Amino acid sequence: MQTTIITSADHFALAPGKLINQWQEGTRRGFHYETQAPVANVAHLISTSMPYLQKKIEQTSVKVFYPSGKQQHGQKHLAAIQDTLQYATDHFGQYDYAQFNLVPASVALPTVGYALPQMALIGEGVGFHANLNESDGFDHLYRRTVHEVAHQWWGYGLNIAEVEGSGVLAETLAKYTELVILRRKYGQDYVKRLVEFEQGRYFQGRSRDTIKELPLYRADSNYLIYSKGSAAMYGVSELLGETRVNQALRKLLTSHAPPAPPATTLDLIRYLNEVASESEQAVINSWFKEIHVNDVAIESVSIKHQNSEYNVTVCVIDHQEASHSVQLSAFAANGKLIEMKEFAKSAVNPACLDWTLMSKPKYFEVDAKLLLLDSNRENNIYQVPNR
């Protein structure tokens, strides 16, 4: 595809493809773009007078346009683009294009983020007007940028069949990419908090849904493809580890990159199953093909300290349906795991466990790895009183 744009002399114009030529014509400025490899046919023309930051990342020329005075925000967007291009190239597959641009979308537009081929539009509200000094909450500027860059793979790199569940292949996998990149930057606790938040959004969404909830592999509602999808991919990656999940995702991409036949969620499930054991396959199946909600809780704890041992009795209950096995973990004061035990799924109604711990527990938590969709997580933790 060839694109020529003539615009104001103080503007920079963007179109799909590589910038081949630019020139000045009196008070007008011209730009000529040419695509170097097949791209999705999503035409877009942008002309902006905003300043930009520029960086070469691997073979890709990256530009981040920013509203004047917001250079610091531009740097953060640039760092998020760099982290995502590098991670996704290493783990999912090559980024084949010579350029990537990020352009702020006006707050007047109804978007917080929108991915185009080789470009991301980021809503100014979540991006350039974000408060960089906010210490609590999540780094939405970074997270949102990672998400939109991830769509270069999960959206434009993958040929997605227009059938039920298509949003899972785009949005759930972009959410997974957020989680793994945020874990590298901010650590496991941060990502766990984010997934707890997404689980909350899932329960809000399902309480407002006016149609019967579909299993994830057939879903197209936002609370499913974004929120349950995040929880599912987090649960599956806690189970399989990032390496095996990425192995499956790389195979999904290489087998279904255009012009190869389009992929469905059944392909995603199949590739995940290929890297999983039989018991792990049952969990993958449960996340994607079934609908289970739990409300596990610690019902009671008693502790006797004798010599250097702690003799503990912990009772766990599932107020919902006891549909899965449940993990109970004991943690020390420094947050380190002392030991983890598993209750069989039939046992949790309620079930008590006698346990000898060799170091002092600070708190107990059921489902600390977020392997279940749990409607109330406040009752999952029992803090041992200081005595």
Q: Which parts of this chain interact with Zn ion (CB under 5 A)?
A: 171, 174
> Do the Cβ atoms of 89 and 108 come closer than 8 Å?
no
Query: Between 198 and 365, whose beta carbon lies closer to Zn ion?
Result: 198
Residue 39 CB, nearest approach to Zn ion (Å) = 18
Query: Between 65 and 154, whose beta carbon lies closer to Zn ion?
Result: 154
Residue 123 CB, nearest approach to Zn ion (Å) = 12
Query: Between 159 and 359, whose beta carbon lies closer to Zn ion?
Result: 159
> Do the Cβ atoms of 282 and 273 come closer than 8 Å?
no
Residue 174 CB, nearest approach to Zn ion (Å) = 5
What distance, in Å, lies between the first and last C-alpha atoms of the chain? 73
- Structure token digits, residue 376: 């109330």
- Structure token digits, residue 330: 């004991």
Residue 152 CB, nearest approach to Zn ion (Å) = 11
Residue 95 CB, nearest approach to Zn ion (Å) = 17
Residue 115 CB, nearest approach to Zn ion (Å) = 7
Tell the burial category of 255 from Cβ atoms under 10 Å away from its Cβ (0-12, 13-18, 19+): middle
Any idea what the Cα angle at residue 67 is, between residues 27 and 55, rounded to 5°?
Answer: 85
> Do the Cβ atoms of 100 and 117 come closer than 8 Å?
no
Residue found by looking up tokens 């790895």 in the block: 369
Residue found by looking up tokens 């596990």 in the block: 296
Helix axis angle, 71-91 to 173-186, nearest 10°: 110
Query: Between 171 and 267, whose beta carbon lies closer to Zn ion?
Result: 171
